Amino acid sequence: MIKISKGLDLPISGSPSLDISDEPKVSSVALLSNDYVGMKPTMFFKEGDHVNCGEKIFEDKKNKGVFYCAPGSGLIKAVNRGDKRKFISIEIDLDNEEEFIEFNDQENFINLLQETGLWNSFRTRPFNRTPAISDIPKGIFINCCDTNPLSVDPYEIIKYDQDLFDLGLEILVKKFECDIYVNYQNDKFEKNNKSVTYTQFSGPHPAGLSSTHISQLCPVNLNKIVWTIGYQDIISIGHLMQYKTLRTSKIIAIGGPSVYEPSLIRTRIAGNIDEITAGKINPNSRIISGSVLHGHQSDGVMNYLGIYDNQISAIPDEVNEIFMNWLMPGKNLHSKLNVFISSFFKT
């Protein structure tokens, strides 16, 4: 076990329970530009066109052969752009009965990942970008840790899809000749593949970040590049190999002070957050796709679950203005630098 001593766990109320809520009905999904660093799309469809789940909807101009596929079947509602026509998001209104593309040719694994858009699950370090198809990594890091505020231990999610996770990991080991590292935090984590390196991490945030794992196990530089991939994406690869279609749902956490009953929920990948959280959150709240540290605010054309986000956070959208607050003793205030009296009452 590698113990990380330096870090900070923010004391935010509303940690999710491990109960799983029913899957909410979602009528629209979207792909967001924030999820793809440096990507510039070449569109294959326009507003009003119909797409099937798994159909390629655009390609990265800067990284040929890297495709992005529809996370659902339906009509393209909008292709949203910002200043200088910068791509922001593409929204899809889902069909009542969705149509899925079947990917039966599974012999060429790299080509299969291209065709399904799952190649984008990989991220390079340094730079955090989708690798080129021809790139060869020095290692692949599979992150099964999460120390973000209001997150849950990934093991509590993986255990519901353990077979698919093991299948995805097995395929990855067979198709890539580099070292593969699986990093986890729960003592109960199942280590079912003898060909990978398992490492347990513990400690405060950022003990759960891939960057922390890489710096400890395989430091990178401009000439030594590794890839990272999340545990949810390993499950998606296993689902693809098992069922020959894209996975459309996953288990995430909903937590925060504004959530009525913080819990896990099985929900639509890339789904509309207003529909996912309907009836679960105080109206006067700021809803964040992802963690309060790294997520994006959910509103307008960005009101969708990020493709890599494993949680939704909700915090009060208000400012508590206390006169001369900085002079108060702060019995109930948090401070990393021990400037409040609360530092003497740590439990």
The DSSP string of 78-121 is: EEEE-GGG-EEEEEEEEPSS--B------SSHHHHHHHHTGGGG
Residue 343: its pLDDT value, please? Answer: 65
Has residue 186 got a pLDDT over 80?
Answer: yes
Residue 23: its pLDDT value, please? Answer: 83
Has residue 344 got a pLDDT over 80?
Answer: no
Has residue 147 got a pLDDT over 80?
Answer: yes
Asked which of 83-92, 252-261, 321-330 is least confident by mean pLDDT, the reply is 321-330
Has residue 273 got a pLDDT over 60?
Answer: yes
Asked which of 20-29, 66-75, 245-254 is least confident by mean pLDDT, the reply is 20-29
Q: How many CA atoms lie within 13 A of 36 on its CB side?
A: 28
Residue 319: its pLDDT value, please? Answer: 74
Has residue 322 got a pLDDT over 80?
Answer: no
Has residue 326 got a pLDDT over 70?
Answer: no
Q: Please tell me what DSSP assigns to residue 273.
A: H
Q: Please tell me what DSSP assigns to residue 244.
A: S
Residue 346: its pLDDT value, please? Answer: 59
> What's the first-to-final CA gap in the chain, in angstroms?
25
The DSSP string of 289-311 is: ES-TTT-EE--GGG-B--TT--E
Q: Which residues pair with 264 in a beta bridge?
A: 20, 253
Residue 347: its pLDDT value, please? Answer: 52
Q: What pTM did the predictor assign?
A: 0.94
pLDDT category of residue 321 using cuts at 50, 70 and 90: confident
